A and B are shown apart, each in its own frame.
Chain A
Amino acid sequence: MNRESLGRTLAAIVGERQVLQRPSELLVYTSDGLPGYRHHPALAVFPRTRDELIAVVRLLAREQVAFVPRGAGTGLSGGALAEGTVLLGLNRLTRVVSVDAENRLAVVEPGVVNVHLTRAVAPLGLHYAPDPSSQAACTIGGNVAENAGGPHCLKYGVTLNHVVALTVILPDGEIVSLGSADGEVPGYDLLGTFVGSEGCFGVALDVTVRLSRNPQAVRTLLADFTSLDAAARATSSIIAAGIVPAALEMMDQATIAAVEASIYAAGYPVDAAAVLLLELDGLAAGIDEDAERLRTICLDGGAREVRVARDEAERTRLWQGRKKAFGAMGRVSSHLVVQDAVIPRTRLPEVLRAIARIGEREQLTVCNVFHAGDGNLHPNIPYNANDPEESARVHRAMKAIMQTCVDAGGSVTGEHGIGLDKLDYMPLIFTPESLDAMCRLRDAFDPERRANPGKVVPVHSCREWMQTPVLR
């Protein structure tokens, strides 16, 4: 089947307006949240109901067409890009299907926006805990695909810890239930395996998530340091002291400057080398004692000042600066590479120093804004992607930063996924045998390798690899 006839057949399922084929209409779908990649889907299709989605996937199976599932397209690893294949947009499946307040469960369609779910259950005193910075736009389906994190994952865990069941349509059209909200089920943990599979194992028709009770009390602290090293060491001290803050975020001088110069100005001290944004939550009883302990650890570790947010307005402002830091960097230059790596927490001071040296060597500004509490770094580099020479330096710097993190015993991604962008880094942390095992696992779900082809595992790592057919 060629592109035109596939388009017509899909339109018969979802309606003309839900199929995009003209290059101008598809332009917005040629990139995701990460600059530097442009991939051109053959067409894009947007089912509006579960039945339409099932019919679309089954049609693609019948016609042996490869496809790329996509939520809001906020991903930061090029994972939702399609080159010559079908882009399957899930962002019109936006129903919160049901909420079980007593058991704190909700069933949602994959296109529900992360923060919309929290808003929908707020009257019940509940929220959905994983809170990636893109939560105002990103979808639960996308979060499942990436096993997304966020600042509060330090205490509450990543997406997987909040997904109890999935109904999935496999690439061949079979519908399976993974996990269960109604009790334990026997067999392999295929739910745990599916979450984070980056759209390569199938498409979620619905997601049953666990909701969390709103904490009785919250304390948000801002600790201000005159050296990055001291802030990093204070982080290690907090972790070693056994306190599990709800969040423990670090921002360096370059990030603070960008935020304070933007409309998201949060009142961070612009002369600080780094700040730690700390949050405690839980029972009201005892929270001030824990906050005082955190304050003491930071002051003992060389903090100039530790400020406790006095009210909800100040708290929101402190968080807004953190969550919109990427946006604020948009003022600095036209493009931004948001990098994602993880290191053992005790290695923070030395790795941050090494990253600074790499930035100097390549004459680039590295802005560090990251989840210090779990060692999840985000060294970001503002640059002009249209300047090939600067792009080359950015690429070199990123590679060197990754190698530094791997050498420190780390991983190449903590929450953004591998997608396309990090394929080359996979052999840094996995043996050829382990990469081949991942290929075999994918083949168990998608033997034809039609779901999000070419992502996550470098194709040459698969013992038997095949070319993905491209639509003409």
Chain B
Amino acid sequence: MTASDASPVHAGGPRDTRDVAEAVRDVAATGTALRIRAGGTWLDAGRPVASGLRTLDVGALRGIVEYVPGDLTLTARASTTLAEIDEATRPHAQWLPLDPFAAPGATLGATLATASWGPLSGSIGLPRDLTIGLEFVDGRGIVVRGGGRVVKNVAGFDLVRLTVGAWGTLGIITEVSVRLRARPPRECTLALDAPRAPEALAPLLRTLRDAPLTPLALELVDGALARRLDVGNDATILVRLAGNDAALAAQRTLVESLGLTHEVPTECWGRLQGSLPPGAYTIRASRRPSELAALWHDLGRCVAVIPGAYRQATLERGIVRLIVPADAALALHGQLAGLAERWHLIGEQLPAESWGLLPGEAFARLASNVRQAFDPRHLLNPGLVTPASTA
């Protein structure tokens, strides 16, 4: 996670959307590209990006603009942190159920720009599903708004879904409206021992998927991570349950019937969210959920040859994350080509030289047309998302 070596634009940093637009128009005149930055948690994913960019720090665009608890909606400026939103919504027994694996200072804008998600996404959905509207400044310095502040809306072409996950390459997100949820009044988390034998894991996962359970989150962590979270010594399935007393009791009984189980404090989810070691590399691998056990064991073979590596899986989505310490870049590099042949891979943070091992976008022409429509001169975060097409 290296910040670009660049001089900041807009003396003192932009204070509002108009400043951001002005800053973009300024650099557009000279053709200077920008690296957009707020909290600095997700900058460039380690991609091999061009140097000589100027940094546009939008960190001052901060604060909740509107929060109507009765509507379960909230509008905030992009650099508001998830922690601030949590603090504001907690007294109303509400929350924004976005739990990306990130530092506590992660901002709303960057979470959406990178479409970062966590264990709750299995039940509640992806960042795009919680975003009901947003404002951004495109690559020509024009302010655009998509969506609105209501929870259901199909007016016009969907600029919201387009911008979420675009890593700021279509526009600099300046303000966001999200839908909130009621915080579950009661919840508990059970740690269920995962079987060691590869052939025993698949049936257990199938049972979990078919069982009458409505977990908030279902995360498989390997032994190394279980020990760090203090939830077990070996691979463990964390089952986060919520509901009224009767629903909780019935689900608890069911989970307990599946194997050795013990209750763990709900705080383990916060620890999991912040468990990423500094400078670590992360890839996500996936296929259909029914193949998860095979995927888990395949990545287990990688973990065995990469010192300090560990894995976790978001079961309902069929996705396994492999986390590799900063000093094991070379060992990770050696595994990537093989993994990319067998699984769908997404790089969250990779060594610069490893990005080339990941397949690019299949329909680059369409993506490039879209980029062209919003940032024709490739001034915004060049090198991210569509590295091949940008200098």
Measured between beta carbons, the chain B residues less than 8 angstroms from A410 are 148, 150
Bound: A443/B143 CA distance, A? 19
Interface residues of A in 194-217 (CB under 8 A from B): 195-197, 200, 216
- Do B162 and A441 touch (CB < 8 A)? yes
Q: Which of A286, A345, A441 contacts B250 (CB 8 A)?
A: A286
Q: Which of A183, A186, A244, A285 contacts B247 (CB 8 A)?
A: A285
Query: Is A269 interfacial (CB-CB < 8 Å)?
Result: no
- Do B155 and A239 touch (CB < 8 A)? no
- Do A375 and B150 touch (CB < 8 A)? yes
- Do A346 and B71 touch (CB < 8 A)? yes
| Binary contact track B346-382/A, C-beta < 8 Å → 1, others 0 | 1000000000001111110111011011100000000
**Interface-lining segment among B33-41, B221-229, B282-290, B328-336:** B282-290
**Interface-lining segment among A253-261, A322-330, A380-388, A427-435:** A427-435
Q: Which of B73, B362, B369 contacts A344 (CB 8 A)?
A: B73
Of B152, B213, B367, chain A has the most CB atoms within 10 Å of the CB of: B152
- Do A200 and B162 touch (CB < 8 A)? no
Distance to closest chain A CB from B145 (angstroms): 5
Query: Is A117 interfacial (CB-CB < 8 Å)?
Result: no
- Do B361 and A342 touch (CB < 8 A)? no
| Binary contact track B136-175/A, C-beta < 8 Å → 1, others 0 | 0010001111101111111111110110111000100000
Q: Which of A188, A285, A422, A433 contacts B385 (CB 8 A)?
A: A188
Interface residue tally for chain A (C-beta within 8 Å): 90
Bound: A186/B250 CA distance, A? 39
Measured between beta carbons, the chain B residues less than 8 angstroms from A411 are 148, 150, 152-153, 155
- Do A345 and B71 touch (CB < 8 A)? yes
Q: Which of B164, B183, B246 contacts A285 (CB 8 A)?
A: B246
Bound: A102/B293 CA distance, A? 14
- Do B159 and A182 touch (CB < 8 A)? no
Bound: A398/B185 CA distance, A? 42
Q: Which of A149, A196, A239 contacts B70 (CB 8 A)?
A: A239
Query: Is B69 interfacial (CB-CB < 8 Å)?
Result: yes
Interface residue tally for chain B (C-beta within 8 Å): 81
Q: Which of B115, B150, B183, B363 contacts A409 (CB 8 A)?
A: B150
- Do B289 and A103 touch (CB < 8 A)? yes
Query: Is B386 interfacial (CB-CB < 8 Å)?
Result: yes
Measured between beta carbons, the chain A residues less than 8 angstroms from B287 are 182-183
Query: Is B116 interfacial (CB-CB < 8 Å)?
Result: no
Of B181, B243, B366, chain A has the most CB atoms within 10 Å of the CB of: B366
Quick one: closest B residue to A149, CB to CB?
A: B152
Query: Is A132 interfacial (CB-CB < 8 Å)?
Result: no
Q: A100-B288, A188-B367 are in contact. Are A426 and B155 (CB under 8 A)?
A: yes
Measured between beta carbons, the chain B residues less than 8 angstroms from A282 are 214, 247
| Binary contact track B235-261/A, C-beta < 8 Å → 1, others 0 | 000000001111111110000000000
Query: Is A56 interfacial (CB-CB < 8 Å)?
Result: no
Quick one: closest A residue to B92, CB to CB?
A: A240
Query: Is A374 interfacial (CB-CB < 8 Å)?
Result: yes
Main SS at interface, chain A: loop
Q: Which of A188, A418, A426 contacts B162 (CB 8 A)?
A: A188
Measured between beta carbons, the chain A residues less than 8 angstroms from B373 are 437, 440-441, 443-444
- Do B162 and A184 touch (CB < 8 A)? no
Interface residues of A in 122-158 (CB under 8 A from B): 146-147, 149, 153, 157-158
- Do A177 and B362 touch (CB < 8 A)? yes
Quick one: closest A residue to B319, CB to CB?
A: A184
Query: Is B15 interfacial (CB-CB < 8 Å)?
Result: no
Measured between beta carbons, the chain B residues less than 8 angstroms from A456 are 156-157
Q: A100-B288, A239-B70, A241-B182 are in contact. Are A153 and B358 (CB under 8 A)?
A: no
Measured between beta carbons, the chain B residues less than 8 angstroms from A188 are 162, 165-166, 170, 367, 370, 385
Bound: A105/B289 CA distance, A? 11
Interface residues of A in 412-468 (CB under 8 A from B): 412-418, 422, 426, 429-431, 433-438, 440-445, 447, 456-457
The 5 closest A-B CB pairs, nearest first, are A242-B182, A286-B247, A192-B161, A183-B286, A285-B250
Chain B: residues with CB nearer than 8 A to chain A? 68-73, 93-94, 115, 125, 128-129, 138, 142-146, 148-159, 161-162, 164-166, 170, 181-183, 185, 206, 212-214, 243-251, 284-290, 318-319, 343-344, 346, 358-363, 365-367, 369-370, 372-374, 385-386
Chain A: residues with CB nearer than 8 A to chain B? 100, 102-103, 105, 146-147, 149, 153, 157-158, 160-161, 170, 174, 176-178, 180-190, 192-193, 195-197, 200, 216, 236, 239-244, 282-290, 342-346, 371, 374-376, 409-418, 422, 426, 429-431, 433-438, 440-445, 447, 456-457
12 contacts between A and B (CB under 8 A): A153-B152, A185-B361, A189-B162, A284-B250, A286-B243, A286-B244, A286-B250, A344-B68, A375-B71, A414-B150, A418-B156, A444-B372
